[in-house]
């Protein structure tokens, strides 16, 4: 571990003769090799006292940097850091859940190394290992960002003297991929196909994403108490997360969405199917709209797995790898991986693009989509062409047929 180096005897600056002095000194930053001033201190008293305080300050400062602060591992520190953020509740649950991916990687590749022994070589080695394993440029950036963030926190807390990430070239965020959306013909065709599918909770979730632009968690967290078919309104109050919890939606506040006549008819048909499936005279208010065949909320991870296969079957994606294998009864099975294509969130992009293409007011689109800013909504205007605007009447007719 590098030792802190202090330059010379330091400086005593007279503020008020015999009454007040400022003391300061330079040290070499181990992470950059450059000389920096330690924070100044103000001493009340004569110059002799200021001189004694300066020597004490230098000794304390040097001790704090050179003596190990903790024997905890980087993995322990990262987990404690994450838990503290959860308890403070200053960051959204969704953001914290996403961070868990990086925390897990930190534990796998760097978690066994003590904080004071962690080096730039260790971090660089973990990045190379992740790259060799096939982690994307975006994934590497997120991993680097989280390692750097945690170590910056440790420096501020004086757990470690400097951040070893400062000795490495940062991994830059890759250019954002262009947002994809179904065009008018694709959306109309897909709506027709959804209408013809055997109705279940998963199909309903896909319809809501396409017709209303709901996020996955909002689709799966919708309850019948949130749906007013008579008034033609859906209230977005909750989202269902991967931990099987109902919690506030991403936009935090309740969002009221108008429902088109086709979706009202679609959901009324679904109500009839539910009443035939379960011994209800009336569907309970808390009952999930997108329910399983046992009446529970759909697991988001299971839904994603099903949705990828469903999209492949409808020409919206493909699997790059398909493996054949036989189970214990000798039945041939298939294992598909490497999905490439549209995801559910891009149906949300489709809804925003269609609304703008139909000439909807941008502020109204922002409210419907639950965007935090108009700038986010404006991102959907780039794909609207004059020819697409002319195609809206044909698209409307196709959707009406689907409904």
Give the rounded distance of the alpha carbon of 339 from its chain centre.
20
- Per-position DSSP letters for 230-294, written without gaps between them: TTTEEEE--EE-TTS-EE--TTSS-EEEE--HHHHHHHHHHHHHHHHHSS-SS--TTSBSSB-TT
Q: Say what the pTM is.
A: 0.60
Per-residue pLDDT for the chain (403 aa), expressed as one digit of tens each?
456 788 888 999 999 988 999 999 998 877 678 898 888 888 999 999 999 999 988 888 887 676 655 578 999 999 999 998 888 877 777 788 889 999 999 999 999 999 988 999 999 999 999 999 888 888 899 999 999 999 999 988 878 878 899 888 999 888 766 667 787 788 888 888 998 999 999 999 999 988 888 889 999 999 999 999 999 888 989 999 888 999 888 765 778 888 888 889 999 999 999 999 999 999 999 999 999 999 999 999 999 999 999 999 999 999 888 888 777 888 887 788 888 888 888 887 777 666 655 555 555 555 555 555 555 555 554 444 444 444 444 444 545 555 5
What gap in Å lies between CA 244 and CA 239, rounded to an integer?
Answer: 10
Task: Answer yes or no: are the C-beta atoms of 249 and 284 closer than 8 Å.
Answer: no
Secondary structure element (H or E) that encloses residue 341, with its range: strand 332-341
CATH number of 184-402: 1.10.443.10
What gap in Å lies between CA 260 and CA 374, rounded to an integer?
Answer: 24
CATH number of 74-167: 1.10.150.130
Annotated domain spans of the chain:
5-66, 74-167, 184-402
The one-character DSSP state at 5 is E
């Amino acid at each position: 571990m590098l030792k802190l180096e202090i330059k010379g005897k330091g400086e005593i600056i007279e503020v008020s003769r015999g009454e007040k002095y400022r003391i300061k000194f330079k040290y070499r930053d181990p992470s950059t090799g450059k000389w920096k001033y330690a924070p100044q201190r103000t001493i009340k008293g004569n110059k002799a006292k200021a001189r004694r305080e300066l020597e004490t300050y230098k000794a304390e400062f040097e001790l704090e940097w050179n003596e190990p602060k903790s024997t905890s591992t980087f993995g322990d520190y990262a987990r404690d850091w994450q838990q503290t953020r959860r308890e403070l509740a200053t960051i959204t649950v969704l953001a914290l859940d996403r961070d868990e991916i990086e925390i897990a990687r930190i534990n796998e590749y760097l978690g066994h190394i003590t904080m004071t022994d962690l080096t730039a070589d260790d971090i660089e080695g973990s990045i190379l290992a992740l790259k060799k394993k096939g982690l994307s440029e975006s994934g590497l950036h997120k991993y680097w960002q989280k390692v750097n963030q945690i170590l910056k926190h440790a420096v501020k807390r004086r757990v470690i003297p400097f951040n070893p990430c400062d000795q490495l070239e940062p991994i830059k965020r890759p250019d954002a991929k262009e947002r994809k959306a179904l065009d008018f013909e694709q959306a109309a065709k897909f709506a027709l196909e959804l209408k013809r599918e055997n109705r279940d909770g998963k199909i309903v979730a896909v319809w809501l994403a396409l017709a209303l632009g709901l996020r996955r968690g909002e689709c799966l967290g919708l309850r019948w108490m949130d749906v007013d078919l008579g008034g033609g309104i859906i209230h977005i109050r909750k989202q269902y997360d991967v931990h099987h919890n109902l919690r506030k939606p991403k936009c935090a506040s309740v969002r009221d969405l108008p429902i088109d006549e086709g979706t009202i008819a679609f959901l009324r048909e679904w109500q009839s199917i539910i009443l035939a499936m379960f011994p209800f005279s009336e569907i309970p208010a808390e009952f999930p709209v997108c329910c399983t065949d046992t009446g529970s909320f759909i697991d988001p991870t299971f839904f994603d797995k099903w949705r990828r296969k469903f999209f492949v079957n409808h020409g919206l994606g493909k699997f790059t790898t398909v493996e054949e294998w036989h189970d214990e009864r000798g039945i041939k099975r298939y294992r598909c991986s490497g999905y490439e294509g549209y995801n559910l969130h891009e149906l949300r992009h489709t809804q925003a693009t269609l609304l703008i293409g139909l000439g909807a007011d941008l502020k109204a689109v922002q409210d419907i989509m639950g965007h935090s800013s108009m700038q986010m909504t404006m991102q959907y205007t780039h794909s609207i062409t004059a020819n697409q605007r002319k195609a809206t009447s044909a698209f409307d007719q196709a959707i009406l047929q689907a409904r």
